[in-house]
Structure 1
Amino acid sequence: MNNTRNIIRQSKTLVGPFPEFNVKDVSECPHELFLEWFKAAIDSGVHEPHAMTLSTTDHNGFPDARVLIIKDVDQDGWYFASSSQSNKGKQIEVNPNVALTFYWSQVGRQIRIRGTARKMDKDMSANDFLNRGVTARAIALIGKQSSIVKDQIEFEQEFEKQIYHIEQNPNIVSPTWTLYRVTASEVEFWQADEERKHIRLKYSNEGDEWIRTQLWA
């Protein structure tokens, strides 16, 4: 136990230098600042900046979280996709209130988004599905995400079967594949500081207006 604690304590954190963050010179809408930070993350060589943590709650109120990728961002919200019959899809059906978290350690930046997830129409979902790679489509078509698999042979057989279906019908779409949009109620931008004087800026949606407030670190 003590050895583990020492290893953790000796692990370096918040190693800069980090970019500056002037809270007085920011966009009025959070999606615009998000896109600025996202581009800066790409320019800084952040690995997989589109990876995010999606947090939901199950029917018992227990939190659940997993990492997936953002598909798009615009003035209406943040988009991701999944099977509506996956655990996260079922949880969203019961409680559409979700949270998204992005963390880019190389630039010391974190973005937290709280809002409501809504299903997009079938055409948008189908278009998203068809833009996925063949392997990803085949796995989605199996339709058994989070179910128990007996062994790897069973998986490979189902996978090959779906690959064949795609070869025979390239436009086949999983009936449960769903594109979701998260309409944000709050978006917080966190900029790390090597001396722990972190900067936090929160956007809160009030009707048609975004209110910006700086928070204590």
Structure 2
Amino acid sequence: MSEELVRELIARPPMVRELPGFDAGRAPEEPAPLFVEWLRGALAAEVPDAQVVTLSTVDPEGMPDARVLVLRDVDPARSGWVFWADADSPKGRQLAAGPRAAMTVYWPQLGRQVRVRGAVRSAPAPAALTRSPGARAASLVGRQSEPLGSAAEYDAAFTAALAADPALPVPGHTVYTLEAATVEFWQGDPSRRHVRLRYERSASGWSRTLLWP
């Protein structure tokens, strides 16, 4: 272990700044509205990439995997967190083999974290799915996570994809919805009086439990 690195980390403790409070007793009955409230708060506070989340899955060998991606929507009716992915990507294949996942988001400026776990449902992407030219080109190139010979090889494929007919459908693109079974909200506090609230779904609806931090 690097003693120098340990000293640097100790000298920079997390969350030593003013953070918002969280009155768990006033939380809504279901988690999706609270998540949307916190997300909008992060956007209003100009947290960089506030809509970026970490999606965790498990591969066929049982090895956990995680990557960051963009949250596209929250469906309150299904308590669903919506994201897009290529069905032929590693995450798409992992979700097909075991359609359960976890999602984590952290907004550092606000000291807020949300954890979502549940089953994942997939549906074909609608024809009108809106993507930037760059995102569309990257999807057309495909071959995500496959070995790449050189950066020049990717640049050539990307340039060709940018010039492709805009009406050309993007193969394999899928809309996924993580339908929450549990959602946990965590509000950090500079004095370490953190607040944790867990929602759990049952046949009769949602329950809320305050947790030790």
Same fold (TM over 0.5): yes
1:94-114 CA-partner distances (Å, limit 9, x unpaired):
111100001011111000000
* One-letter amino acid of the structure 2 residue matched with residue 152 of structure 1: A
Aligned partners of 1:90 and 1:212: how far apart in 2?
Answer: 33
Structure 1 or 2: more helix by fraction: 1
Find the residue that maps to 1:56 and give its secondary structure: strand
Q: Partner of 2:37: helix, strand, or coil? A: helix
Q: Which residue of 2 aligns with 1:171?
A: 167
Per the alignment, in what secondary structure is the counterpart of residue 24 of structure 1?
Answer: helix
C-alpha distance in 1 between matches for 2:45 and 2:192:
21
Which range moved further: 106-115 or 153-162? 153-162
Give unmatched runs, 5+ long, in structure 1: none
Q: Does the 8 Å CA contact 2:116/2:183 hold for their aligned counterparts?
A: yes
The equivalent residue for 2:153 is 154
Q: How many residues align?
A: 210
Separation (CA, whole Å) in 2 of partners of 1:158 and 1:120: 28
User: d(CA) in 2 for partners of 1:86 and 1:160?
Assistant: 21
Give the partner amino acid of 2:44.
D
Among the aligned pairs, what percent are the same residue? Answer: 37
Unaligned residue ranges in structure 2 (runs of 5+): none
Contact 1:16 1:108 in 2 (8 A): no
Superimposed CA distance per residue, residues 160-194 of structure 1 (whole angstroms, 9 cap, x where no aligned partner)? 221222xxx21222221111011000000000011
Which residue of structure 2 lines up, in the alignment, with residue 180 of structure 1?
176
> After the TM superposition, which residues 51-200 of structure 1 pair with which residues of structure 2 at under 5 Å, given as runs?
51-75=52-76, 76=78, 77-123=80-126, 126-128=127-129, 131-165=130-164, 169-200=165-196
Letter in 1 for 2:147: I
Distance 1:6 1:103 in 2: 25
Q: Which runs of 4+ in 1 moved over 4 A?
A: none
Report the alpha carbon displacement of residue 143 of structure 1 after superposing the two structures with TM.
1.6
For 1:205 and 1:120, how far apart are their aligned partners in 2?
23
* Higher mean C-alpha deviation, range 78-87 or range 147-156: 147-156
Q: Is it true that 1:9 corresponds to 2:19 in the alignment? A: no
